[in-house]
Amino acid sequence: MTERILFDTTYLLPILGMRVRGLRGYEKYIGGMLDIYDVYYHPVSLIESKWELLHLLRRRSGRLLPLENCL
């Protein structure tokens, strides 16, 4: 039986291309984790990840983007 692991937002963000402060060596270990474990995530973590990405995009743009343009 394969062991299962639940990824929260901290581990989903790097998959989406965002750096997470304090999370080191992620690239080194993620491939092995995906090979060893059945990986699960909660749908709420995907929503939170989306909001984090939108927040970053809005900050990088140097201005506030209308929310309807981000969805």
50-71 average pLDDT score: 72
Query: From the DSSP assignment, how many helices (H) and strands (E) are in the chain?
Result: 4, 2
Give pTM, 2 decimals. 0.67
**pLDDT at position 44 over 90:** yes
Between CA 15 and CA 42 the distance in angstroms is: 15
In 3D, which of 39, 37, 54 has the Cα closest to residue 1? Answer: 37
Predicted confidence at residue 16, as pLDDT, reads 83
Give the 3-state secondary structure of residue 54. helix
Stronger pLDDT, 44 or 71, i.e. the higher one: 44
Between CA 61 and CA 12 the distance in angstroms is: 23
